[in-house]
Amino acid sequence: MSSHARRTILRATSIMGGASAVNVVIGLVRTKVAALILGPAGVGLVGLLHNLIQTAATLAGFGIGNVATRQVAEAGDEPAAQAAARTAMLVAAVVLGLIGAVLLVLCREPVAAAVLGDRKWANAVAWLSLGAAALVGTAALNGILMGVRAVGALARASILSALLGTAGGIAVLLMWGTGGILPYVLLSPLAALLVSAWFVRKSPSAGPRPPLSVMVPQWSMLARLGLAFTVGSLAGTASQLAVRSLLQRQLGAEDLGQYQAAVGISLNYIGFILAAMATDYYPRLTVAMRDSREAVSTINHQAEVALLLAGPLLVGTVALAPLALHLLYSGRFLAAADLLRWQICGDFLKIASWPLGFVLLAGGWGKMFVAVESAAGLVLVGVTAVLLPRLGVEAAGVAYVAMYTVYFGLVWLLARRLVGFAFARGFQGVLAGVGGALATTLALLHWSERVGAIVGVALAGALAVLAVRVLQNALPAAVLRLLSRVPGLLRRGRPAP
């Protein structure tokens, strides 16, 4: 891989990674307070309500975030095309958000019964419509920022919205305890909407406001791709909602809380990788799709760097899962340690497969995207339902690994067919190295928790050294000066960029 390609990827990853690191710290405070005040049952309910909002927003949003990113990226530097894409997506977001909110209010009683198991939650579901509408608007706004690759603005927006949501959320929990769960859940999407709107408003104008006739083709593209993106994305969010509902109904609120703790850590520690893919890689791949060789090179570059960066985190978290749960939540969540390890194994496959999965989005192959996402969602729910009586809450972790095993296979086959994808040697090597370290750590943990933890931390350190050495030529000079203070860490010499 060229140093230029690595620097391009690392720039976006470092910006979003820095923002993600700040958000993780903010999230630690938010999560810790929620865990101490609400306990596992309350944390599980918060996760279920969040997932309900996300599912409703996915259904109402019509894939507007993905379509906005794709359309704005394709418009390039042409002012008129940029203005048409941006304005059309904002108008569509307002209309779709309002429609989604109204429908959720009208369907509040059956939704409460189906998801929460009791119609007494109907009024709470009605209030959640505000959060769903806010997420639709935020998706469109962030899609515009992603389309113009405003990585810095997205990073700042994520930090500011996290700060506002966390400060307000902690305040309502401290004042009202479990009675503050509903406003606690709503504050995050509302804060994200306000902050994203502010950053889009501050961004350079794309040109004069376009006439209605120019925006019609943009809405036509939204209608054509939006249904596919909605069904595909809904398969993911709805399957997570179904799993949470199964856990609550069959195992109870305590086990649902353990599941939420494992998923929460899983999402936090790989968040900067996934955020960089959505922010920088997706629009880059959209442009690269004009040349299949360039697309294959872009996929391999992204996958290699993503695994290099995530590898130490994956292996280290597997090794220290109980410690992570105790620090981030409390001692009442230690039962989720094995579940967290299953989640991490699934995340390994997720990070490896996502660069391939974006081919379907960047190329506009909506039907294939729907088929893959639906198949993955069915695997998650089906395996969970089958194994739940035997394995308990761990069934959801096993199902997560099964889902991404199937997903990886499907997107690999499709990428090979659509753009002639073939694994580059660097991607293969990192995939084997991280996978081997995970397998070794898990095997030793099964034999001895202490030995597995020690070896796992050592392997995570070795992967971190490997990542630094492989990416050395792409690192900024200031970072290299800092790393050079560690004897033997850097390779000798540094070729000119």
| Domain containing residue 381 | 3-483
Each residue of 329-344: b (16+ CB within 10 Å) or e? bbebbebbbbbbbbbb
Confidence of residue 48 (pLDDT cuts 50, 70, 90): confident
Joined together, the tokens standing for residue 315 give 């292996």
- Structural domain includes residue 495: no
H helix runs in 76-180, sequence order:
79-106, 108-111, 122-147, 151-176
- Structural domain includes residue 493: no
pLDDT in the model for residue 14:
57
Q: What is the pLDDT of residues 294-316, one digit of tens each?
A: 889 889 988 888 898 889 989 99
Q: Which residue has the tokens 């969040």?
A: 50
Give the HSE-up count for residue 215: Cα atoms under 13 Å, Cβ half-sphere.
Answer: 15
- Structural domain includes residue 488: no
- Structural domain includes residue 425: yes
Q: What is the pLDDT of residues 172-222, one digit of tens each?
A: 888 888 888 889 989 989 999 999 889 888 776 655 676 666 677 777 777
| Average confidence score pLDDT of the chain | 82
pLDDT in the model for residue 217:
76
Q: Contact, 33 vs 173, CB < 8 A?
A: yes
Confidence of residue 456 (pLDDT cuts 50, 70, 90): very high
Does the pLDDT value for residue 114 go beyond 50? yes
Q: Contact, 154 vs 280, CB < 8 A?
A: no
- The dihedral formed by the CA atoms of 396, 398, 404 and 407, expressed in degrees to the nearest 10: -90
Higher pLDDT residue, 87 or 434? 434
Q: What is the DSSP letter of 115?
A: I
Q: What is the pLDDT of residues 257-282, one digit of tens each?
A: 888 888 878 776 666 666 655 666 77
Q: What is the pLDDT of residues 70-98, one digit of tens each?
A: 777 777 667 777 777 788 888 888 888 89
Query: From the centroid of its chain, how far is CA 265?
Result: 12
Angle of the 337-362 helix axis to the 425-447 helix axis, nearest 10: 160
- Structural domain includes residue 490: no
pLDDT in the model for residue 358:
85
- Structural domain includes residue 451: yes
- Neighbouring CB atoms inside 10 A of 220's CB total 11
Q: What is the pLDDT of residues 374-402, one digit of tens each?
A: 899 999 999 999 999 999 889 999 999 99
Number of domains the chain is built from: 1
pLDDT in the model for residue 410:
95
Task: Give burial (CB, 10 Å; 0-12/13-18/19+) of 112.
Answer: buried
Q: Which residues, in sequence order, are CB contacts of 480 under 8 Å at separation 6+?
A: 472, 490, 494
- Structural domain includes residue 491: no
- Structural domain includes residue 34: yes
Confidence of residue 484 (pLDDT cuts 50, 70, 90): low
- Neighbouring CB atoms inside 10 A of 90's CB total 18
Q: What is the pLDDT of residues 310-358, one digit of tens each?
A: 899 899 999 998 988 888 777 788 888 899 999 999 999 999 998 898 8
Confidence of residue 40 (pLDDT cuts 50, 70, 90): confident
CA neighbor of 53 nearest in space, from 231, 191, 196, 238: 238
pTM of full prediction above 0.85: no
